[in-house]
Amino acid sequence: MKRILEGLRELFLPGVCRLCGKECIPAPAYLPKALDDKLCESCAASLAPYAGACCEICSLPFMGEGPSHLCPQCEKSSPLFDHLSTWGIYSSSLREAIIAFKYNGDLKMRGLLSGILIETLKGTWGESSPFDSIVPVPPTSKRLKERGYDLPSYLTYKASKEWGVKWRPKALFRREGGGHVAGLPLKERWRAVRGLYTPREKLSGWVLIVDDVATSLATLRACARCCLDAGAEGVSCATLARTPVTPSKGS
């Protein structure tokens, strides 16, 4: 029923912004195609990709001027993946769109978020995929049953079709338990995800892991380790958003 209602809304209200509900006007020409998806100019502009300095490996945004360089965490120890590509900072309209789909089941965000991911991938690695397979960060069976959908799985499915790369939604498994890592200090996040993820299928070549948001990198590190243990030659990562992490809070 929800899908039917969303379809009727698109049919009879084609000029309404997906995010704020205001009247849509054509998005500015300088914005990526992924953002010209029934958005008003203001919301589209707020979804523009982050263009400031960041860590050259994990894309941690640096607040202030200066060139990109390695963050202290990546300088200290390898995150097990060679690069994390992300669209923007987890704030403003991007955060609202992710929350609307991930937690509230707002299906009209599907095209917007998958478009953003595809733009992110092509902007980093080009029109042709250099990867042998694309793997979503898995949810628990309980969480998937409760929601009936999973954002990383949906994103990787759409990206695999657009980019022509093998989709491996069952390559990794997340066991029940472990609790939520959101809001935990950095070291506690790493301890919380230890042993939660295990490989379920053999992998080979170069693997791309996709999640919706990267914060402490604990989940991506754990999944990268699983992919390498499963036979992957190397791992890269991609997310829709990156949350700034401060050394004091580690959140």
State pLDDT tens for residues 117-139. Answer: 999 999 999 999 999 999 999 99
Provide the percentage of residues in the chain whose pLDDT is more than 70.
80
Q: Which of 172, 167, 225 is nearest to 201 (CA)?
A: 172
Q: Is 222 exposed, middle or buried (0-12, 13-18, 19+ CB in 10 A)?
A: buried
pLDDT bin (cut points 50, 70, 90) of residue 82 is very high
Q: Alpha-carbon distance 34 to 212, whole Å?
A: 16
* 105 contacts 149 by C-beta, under 8 angstroms: yes
State pLDDT tens for residues 6-36. Answer: 555 555 555 778 888 787 766 566 566 666 6
pLDDT score recorded for residue 181: 62
Q: Alpha-carbon distance 149 to 136, whole Å?
A: 13
Q: Which of 52, 34, 55 is nearest to 44 (CA)?
A: 34
Mean pLDDT of 93-113: 89
Residue given tokens 């990526």 in the structure block: 32
Going from the C-alpha of 166 to that of each of 134, 161, 163, 202, 206, the distances in angstroms are: 6, 8, 9, 13, 11
pLDDT bin (cut points 50, 70, 90) of residue 64 is confident
pLDDT score recorded for residue 142: 82
| pLDDT above 90 (res 239) | yes
Q: Alpha-carbon distance 160 to 158, whole Å?
A: 5
Q: Alpha-carbon distance 234 to 251, whole Å?
A: 27
Q: Which of 139, 133, 166 is nearest to 151 (CA)?
A: 139
Q: Which of 172, 178, 140, 180 is nearest to 156 (CA)?
A: 172
In the chain the domains, ranked by start, together with CATH numbers, are: 1-48 (no CATH), 56-63+80-251 (3.40.50.2020)
| Pairing mode of beta strands 172-174, 166-167 | unpaired
pLDDT score recorded for residue 34: 62
State pLDDT tens for residues 134-192. Answer: 999 999 888 777 877 799 999 999 999 999 999 999 999 998 876 566 565 566 666 67
Q: What is the CA radius of gyration of the chain?
A: 18
